[in-house]
Structure 1
């Protein structure tokens, strides 16, 4: 197409083009069109006959071409919705996913005065908890300085000013602190698994995806280190792979946790597990 089309025609044709590479081609087309035009998605339905301006049409074509090459929509638009807010995202951080919203939901079931988010990435979990508990003390740790730059920017934009961000390896930057709650979405994919080489994951940081040979290495670090960092009666919740539930529950029990639970994602897979550290 050389002449700019209407909004409706642009959406329709892009959706058809993206069908072979996306599980949600119509939604992808709409998000990319909103990014290219600066228009709200509701306008596409309210004024489907509106003709795109030439610069917006060129931007849209370019975005569709990049999506066809596999780039995630979140990287193309620069943001992704999470819970009830929008986050800046990019290649330095994992794209927030609905599974991680279940981690936040589990954590919010019991209020906590002090929180530690390990492997915070974009800051999505720490920010969600900060918005729910504005009086809580929250520390967030990540080994990647680039990821922390993204997380800090998100926290500033969303008013989550109480979060303290730390660069370092797991518990090392906060080793003298104790918390009411620890949350983590650690790497949990095994080194030989094919998943990181498929779909959007191809464009995401591998150190945030791959834990080691078994996929349980980072999970074990989080669980085994938690008792020394939790107040008596404190809780740990973490996200894990859909086949890792039994192993995670065993690790939690071996570390002294009780009231161990596992929550399922929207597909019915075991995805979030946690427990409480008994008071000594």
Structure 2
């Protein structure tokens, strides 16, 4: 296996900045083993059928097809998620949105554990209202499912205008045994039943329509509708910010992922919409990534 991996990594060096990791992920996928297995049994021979499958996947990767599309999955937070060409590929930067949302979700109320059934009505034992959160444009369900996995006492709503994406998110909920997320086919807030949430999160499209990066890397194979939002990339962010107050409880929080160069304009939009405690948080690379604000008390 060692020789196969070295040759594959060499081939990928011109097209991938993670050539060795890509090679290992693809071979481990073909073998249905972990990457640790590759290190432990590096001298083991690979049978001809497995090698042929690996060579085909390698050729697809050389063509630029994302690793997540070739393996059909991506690790995110603590979950393994199915990924298809109908969804955005979950990225490590988005884990900042999950981490921040978890820090802002209210503590469980007394007797407020949410029953794990699709018929949950928003009330816990004794009529206490459970903590609730909304994920707008859920895609694979990465954000909502990660939050729901950490907070089984709370109830989450996840929406997307793409029925195909919602099918993937629903499958991810089942495969990860997460039952406290309700999925709704909705273009942002348009088809949601009347309700107010403690926290609203979203990783909306925020790339400019004519951004040259759209012709590079993995984004070439992702749905354009999940990436772009008008000439300045702000159309969906502006809509969410101006509409969210009608869906937040007093003291509720809105958290948004955005581009590395959009922190100042997004925080300005939040201020102008009436949000308080507005701030922008950097990702691990030091780039502006998540902006948030609290809807004030009446």
- Equivalent position of 1:196 in the other structure: 214
Cα distance in 2, alignment partners of residues 34 and 74 from structure 1: 13
Residues 209-261 of structure 1 deviation map (CA, whole Å, 9 limit, x = unaligned): 00111100000111111100000000000100111111100110111110011
- Equivalent position of 1:82 in the other structure: 76
- Equivalent position of 1:163 in the other structure: 181
Contact 1:260 1:273 in 2 (8 A): yes
- Equivalent position of 2:236 in the other structure: 218
Q: Shift in Å at residue 25 of structure 1? A: 0.1
* Residue of 3, 8, 12 corresponding to 2:6: 12
Contact 2:186 2:192 in 1 (8 A): no
Q: Shift in Å at residue 194 of structure 1? A: 1.1
Task: State the secondary structure of the residue aligned to 2:16.
Answer: coil
Q: What is the TM-score with the length of structure 1 in the denominator?
A: 0.96
Contact 1:11 1:29 in 2 (8 A): yes
Cα distance in 2, alignment partners of residues 39 and 252 from structure 1: 47
> Gaps spanning 5+ residues in structure 2: where?
107-130
Task: State the secondary structure of the residue aligned to 1:212.
Answer: coil
1:98-113 aligned at under 5 Å gives the runs 98-112=92-106, 113=131
Q: What is the TM-score with the length of structure 2 in the denominator?
A: 0.91
* Residue of 156, 169, 177 corresponding to 1:138: 156
Q: Shift in Å at residue 26 of structure 1? A: 0.2
Q: Which runs of 4+ in 1 moved over 2 A?
A: none
> Gaps spanning 5+ residues in structure 1: where?
1-6
* Residue of 42, 53, 57 corresponding to 2:47: 53
* Residue of 42, 62, 66 corresponding to 2:60: 66
Cα distance in 1, alignment partners of residues 193 and 224 from structure 2: 26
RMSD of aligned Cα (Å): 0.8
- Equivalent position of 2:135 in the other structure: 117
Q: Shift in Å at residue 94 of structure 1? A: 0.5
- Check if 1:43 corresponds to 2:61: no
Q: Shift in Å at residue 52 of structure 1? A: 0.1
Residues 81-112 of structure 1 deviation map (CA, whole Å, 9 limit, x = unaligned): 10111111010000000110011011011224
Cα distance in 2, alignment partners of residues 133 and 267 from structure 1: 28
- Equivalent position of 2:21 in the other structure: 27
1:204-243 aligned at under 5 Å gives the runs 204-243=222-261
- Check if 1:258 corresponds to 2:276: yes
Contact 1:175 1:229 in 2 (8 A): no
Cα distance in 2, alignment partners of residues 47 and 193 from structure 1: 44
